[in-house]
Structure 1
Amino acid sequence: MKNKTWLGLIFLAIFTVILSGCNFSSSDKKEDEDKKEESTGTDKTEDKGEDKAEESAGQVLRVSASAEIPTMDSTKAHDGVAFNVLNNTNEGLYRQDENNESILALAEKHEENEDGTVHTFTLKETTWSNGDPVTAADFEYAWKRVMKDAGAYNYMLATAGIKNSEAIMDEEMDADELGIKATGDYTLEVTLEGPNPLFKTLLAFPTFLPQNQKFVEEQGDQYALEAENVLANGPFVLTKWTHEQGWTMEKNADYWDADNVKLDEIEVYVVKEPSTGANLYETDKLDRTVLTSALVDQYADNPDFKIEKESNIVFLRFNHGHPVLGNPEIRRAVNMAIDRDGLTDVILKDGSSPLYGVVAGGYYQSPDGEDYRELNGDINKGTPEEAKALWEKTLAELGETEVTVSINIADSESHKKVAEFLQAQLEDNLPGFKLDIKAVPFAQRLEIEKGITYDLSLSSWGPDYSDPMTYLDMWLKDGSANRMGYDNAKLNDLVADAYVDTDLSKRFETLLNIEKILLEEDAAIAPLYQTGTAILIQDKVKGLVKHPSGAEFSYKWTYIEE
């Protein structure tokens, strides 16, 4: 983080995420899940499911998770599994509601000064699960701890515009100088560098949760590693945690809104192999499980089969320093040569949909209620004939007759299928194009991208927060999420403008123009598809809220119809 400009600092860590925003390992959430699908479920997991099924009755929800919880420390968590548990056992100033909007949670009142730089929060009088009061000091302690320990998501405080966060990341100021202070037991003051249109939205993200300083320090290096080493102040309490097998969350009777929480218990089982999850579902040991494309045909006629639209995107990165792929018209021809309908409908079959933009459709509306994706439409969509003509013309101008490149992919089942499809499409539709597939372990794929030592790279991205900017600021010059050597000064300037513009209509127009520069002007990447998930879910499960960004699930409004 050292010695970066203000602009670069704010976005530098965006690639670091959840298994889903957020982001790179989050954004590569689908890749991580694909890797885990190759693991084998254990008999121990299945036995546990049988025992729990006998105990389960009434308002008990039984779901699966693809991996163990790495940590329950909100200042260090950076993956989807941890975010889900934190979101349901803890509560911050705001939380996402059933419509994915940020609503007041522990904050009873939120006031701001005339220029939008000083925000004052009045807290509800609530308690931690050990009986201690939740105070404004708990927020001040936790947020400063994020900066002090250089947590994986410390950039979110800079994205929110909190005063001095950038200087702290650059080690020019101390974490204690962060623009947050408790001015009373239940009064919190947060100062921003300037007005920030994303501030309220970001406050629902798990990094902004409070922590009980006395408890954290008493636990020392054991904090957040076991169920007894964490506290809750949200709808549920983590009561059991059997590592690599699963965990249990029980209703928090002392939660301020407990009357509206219907579930008594949530049983979560670590299921690494989807076929194991399907078997557990068929034997009534799970109420919801995720299927892979290999299982879709088997369950497509099952009344419990559902398709869920996701906000993650999958796309091709180009090495902009490559002698041929560095040409925007070559990149445009590659975009136009790919049959995305065939990819999603024939190869994936999991509810994924063709994508001709970098911002996912169906989640991000203008102030007038119009969908971002519909407003900007399909960019670089063409026919194989148009692709061939542009390819041959541009290749001749470059003095080339054929090109051999490789594609860098993670060694997961789905990525191999996608790469093989792309290989056939590009070699058939672009004369002289030869594509070699290089499958490597997931972590190595990321390292290859960081070094930009690839020709093409199959990548994915999941949003951290509910705003188009979470897809658009990836492409800033020298940003870690860029990973292509791409640079457009106009795009950089527009991103900077959108971060401080409080005129929401004007800002949305700027967000539309950022994508146009990226794709219409530069054809900088090749968007492929917006992900979907095929699931089995019991009809008795009602009110399960799935969010497109941040923590994936909220169980606060879920209930079992009896």
Structure 2
Amino acid sequence: MKKKLSFLLVLVLALSTFLAACGGNEKSSEDNSGGDGESTEKTKQVLNLLESAEIPSMDSALATDAVSFNVMNNVFEGLYRLDENDKAVEGMVDGEPTISEDGKTWTFKIKDAKWSNGDPVTAKDFEYAWKKVLNPDTAAEYGYIMYDLKNAAKVHAGDLPVDQLGVKAIDDKTLEVQLETKVPYFKELLTFATFYPQNEAFVTEQGDQYGLEANTILYNGPFVLSEWKHEQSFQLKKNPDYWEKDVVKLEEVNFNIVKDTATGVNLYETGKADIAGLSAEFVDQYKEDENFKTRAETSVYFLRLNQENEVLANLDARKAIDMAWDKQGLADVLLNNGSIPANFLVPGEFVSSPDGNDFRETNGDLGTYDVEKAKEHWTKAKEALGKDKIELELLNYDSESSRKVGEYLKEQLESNLEGLSVSISQQPFKQKLDLETKGEYDFSFAGWGPDYPDPMTFVDMFVTDGSHNQMGYSNPEYDKLVEQAKTTLLDDLDARWQALLDAEKILFEDQAISPMYQAGVAYLEQPYVKDLYRHSFGADNSYKWAYIEK
């Protein structure tokens, strides 16, 4: 995604409401009764939330953003799902898998579970869905996340037929998965949305309508998407056919799509929303409120610098843009929600080396705010380009907070880089993602939330022609380090760790992106909301264990 995403993402919209991540959403917790052990049956089990954007996709093979991943995490279920500690626990899998001695062949048993139309969930549903993702005709941006599967990269590239992919339903209850090499975080990886099953007969019946409406989707998770009013609201209801339905306490989870912070706060104050994200001015207003909360996230926001653009193909121009604006001011004043300035890609307090060293602490800051050096780089860039006046367009989200960030960037860059004129294109979430995918922008406000617990979930975004590269960046040495970290170095974890550290350094030597901030979130949450689990990677939230206690 949480990419993520994209994943992806993510990614990515923590600005308009704290609910957003690789584009995003909110998060969850656990317990099957009230906190004091009393029954919650007398309390109306309805959770009312806010979302900052329409759901871009409900097809797990095509989704790339945190909004989609968050909803899918609660209405679908893969072999595993994340618990309150971000550990993989049983989903559709029944018991522990059988793993070969070399760690490359995993055999899973599928538990007795049903789709929402009554069909059994089978191993064939996983085989079909995974092959669908990697079929070149699907054009799945997140196909690369499956490249640990045997022959996955070659199948995705069209160099091998789909039936050569290392996934096979031995029978309805047995799924055999072959890997290119052992993967230390494989169970956690399998919680990600791209690995969800799909019912082939239903998907085929729906054709190009699959995933577009609430009734053109089958569900096997704790909830079903019962109502979807596009660009307005959507609703989840408890799934009566879910294998562990007795654990699920919530009867409904209602989402209103709200892009304005003031509107969200008003809904909270009037009892129509149980949680509301806060922008800077509201943080000052509510920081003494007993229901005011903050938390750190692992999402990182950055400016994509599209090297297909003549100006941004110039290294000095990219360095000038990165150095010319005050990230500390953005985090402390404009965001004011616990976000910290970023001069990096991989976030802090996310993952540690084999000997326990935090990735971020080891690599440190890889950039700086320096207006004088920015001006020097800018002068060199203009001389090389033969231009005195340069116009660039910033592709932005359409939320209120994103608009303020865009205006801040415009003012900073135009003030410090003589001759630069910045225009801003604010687009609805889905349209913005589409423009980035097509490369139809100059530079863009983007973000990424981790999809699994490893630096690779950030680093491999920017390999040459990667589906989430989206900005024409290419460096052979960077590609080599990423490939080694995915393959030959998996038996030498210290060397693998160093390769990932080195790759991140190359990214900033090339100034491929201009990092902005590692997200923090400030919000109001009613005290009766219990056990809503918030995850540090993958989907933002799980509502399976959440409940209302009044």
Contact 1:324 1:398 in 2 (8 A): no
Counterparts of 1:125-136 in structure 2 under 5 Å? 125-136=112-123
Counterparts of 1:5-20 in structure 2 under 5 Å? none
Contact 2:397 2:445 in 1 (8 A): no
Counterpart residue identity of residue 365, structure 1: S
Supply the distance in 2 between the matched residues of 1:384 and 1:427 (Cα, whole angstroms).
12
Aligned residue for 2:354, secondary structure, equals coil
Q: Name the stretch that deviates more: 313-322 or 532-541.
A: 313-322
Supply the distance in 2 between the matched residues of 1:65 and 1:435 (Cα, whole angstroms).
35
Match of 2:425 among 440, 465, 468: 440
Aligned to 2:494: 505
Aligned to 1:124: 111
Q: Name the stretch that deviates more: 24-33 or 177-186.
A: 24-33
Relative to structure 1, the CA distance from residue 394 to residue 511 in structure 2 (aligned partners, 3 Å threshold; closer, same or farther) is same
Relative to structure 1, the CA distance from residue 481 to residue 240 in structure 2 (aligned partners, 3 Å threshold; closer, same or farther) is closer
Contact 1:358 1:515 in 2 (8 A): yes
Counterpart residue identity of residue 514, structure 1: A
Match of 1:142 among 117, 129, 148: 129
Match of 2:461 among 474, 477, 481: 474
Counterparts of 1:396-407 in structure 2 under 5 Å? 404=390, 406-407=392-393
User: Structure 2: where are the runs of 5+ without partners?
Assistant: 21-41
Greater RCO (Cα-Cα under 8 Å, separation 6 or more): 2
Aligned to 1:88: 74
Counterpart residue identity of residue 494, structure 2: S
Counterpart residue identity of residue 561, structure 1: E
Contact 2:16 2:401 in 1 (8 A): no
Aligned to 2:519: 531
- Displacement of 1:475: 2.4
Q: Name the stretch that deviates more: 359-368 or 443-452.
A: 443-452
Aligned to 2:30: none
- Displacement of 1:373: 1.5
Does residue 106 (structure 1) correspond to residue 95 (structure 2)? The answer is no
Aligned residue for 2:96, secondary structure, equals strand
Aligned to 1:514: 503
> What do the CA deviations read for 1:459-503 (whole angstroms, capped 9, x no partner)?
433333332222212222333543444332221110001112323
Counterpart residue identity of residue 508, structure 1: W
User: Structure 1: where are the runs of 5+ without partners?
Assistant: 1-16, 37-55
Contact 1:364 1:467 in 2 (8 A): yes
Contact 1:316 1:525 in 2 (8 A): yes
- Displacement of 1:355: 0.5
Supply the distance in 2 between the matched residues of 1:333 and 1:414 (Cα, whole angstroms).
25
Aligned to 2:293: 306
Relative to structure 1, the CA distance from residue 257 to residue 506 in structure 2 (aligned partners, 3 Å threshold; closer, same or farther) is farther
Match of 1:165 among 152, 170, 180: 152
Relative to structure 1, the CA distance from residue 439 to residue 426 in structure 2 (aligned partners, 3 Å threshold; closer, same or farther) is closer
- Displacement of 1:120: 1.0
Aligned to 1:372: 359
Contact 2:396 2:444 in 1 (8 A): no
- Displacement of 1:126: 2.7
> What do the CA deviations read for 1:321-368 (whole angstroms, capped 9, x no partner)?
888866656655554443221111112223321011011223223234
Q: Name the stretch that deviates more: 361-370 or 93-102.
A: 361-370
> What do the CA deviations read for 1:402-426 (whole angstroms, capped 9, x no partner)?
7745352327444443344345545
> What do the CA deviations read for 1:193-223 (whole angstroms, capped 9, x no partner)?
3334454332111121122334444555554
Relative to structure 1, the CA distance from residue 439 to residue 505 in structure 2 (aligned partners, 3 Å threshold; closer, same or farther) is same
Aligned to 1:27: 11
Counterpart residue identity of residue 330, structure 2: L
Supply the distance in 2 between the matched residues of 1:162 and 1:147 (Cα, whole angstroms).
10
Relative to structure 1, the CA distance from residue 132 to residue 264 in structure 2 (aligned partners, 3 Å threshold; closer, same or farther) is same
Aligned residue for 1:313, secondary structure, equals strand
Counterpart residue identity of residue 436, structure 1: S
Aligned to 1:60: 46
Counterpart residue identity of residue 502, structure 2: N
Counterpart residue identity of residue 191, structure 1: Q
**TM score, norm. by length of structure 1:** 0.80
Relative to structure 1, the CA distance from residue 109 to residue 151 in structure 2 (aligned partners, 3 Å threshold; closer, same or farther) is farther
Contact 2:146 2:152 in 1 (8 A): no
Aligned to 1:39: none
**TM score, norm. by length of structure 2:** 0.81
Contact 1:23 1:463 in 2 (8 A): yes
Contact 2:4 2:12 in 1 (8 A): yes
Q: Name the stretch that deviates more: 150-159 or 459-468.
A: 150-159
Contact 1:160 1:199 in 2 (8 A): no
Does residue 262 (structure 1) correspond to residue 249 (structure 2)? The answer is yes
Aligned to 1:288: 275
Aligned residue for 2:395, secondary structure, equals strand
Relative to structure 1, the CA distance from residue 278 to residue 414 in structure 2 (aligned partners, 3 Å threshold; closer, same or farther) is closer
Aligned to 1:344: 331
Does residue 556 (structure 1) correspond to residue 540 (structure 2)? The answer is no
Supply the distance in 2 between the matched residues of 1:557 and 1:58 (Cα, whole angstroms).
15
> What do the CA deviations read for 1:370-423 (whole angstroms, capped 9, x no partner)?
3222221112235556666x6599679979997745352327444443344345
Relative to structure 1, the CA distance from residue 261 to residue 505 in structure 2 (aligned partners, 3 Å threshold; closer, same or farther) is farther
Counterpart residue identity of residue 462, structure 2: W
Supply the distance in 2 between the matched residues of 1:218 and 1:401 (Cα, whole angstroms).
56
Counterpart residue identity of residue 536, structure 2: P
Contact 1:410 1:445 in 2 (8 A): no
Contact 2:9 2:451 in 1 (8 A): no
Relative to structure 1, the CA distance from residue 484 to residue 269 in structure 2 (aligned partners, 3 Å threshold; closer, same or farther) is closer
Aligned to 1:12: none
Aligned to 1:47: none
Percent of aligned positions that are identical: 45
Counterpart residue identity of residue 549, structure 1: F
Contact 2:300 2:448 in 1 (8 A): yes
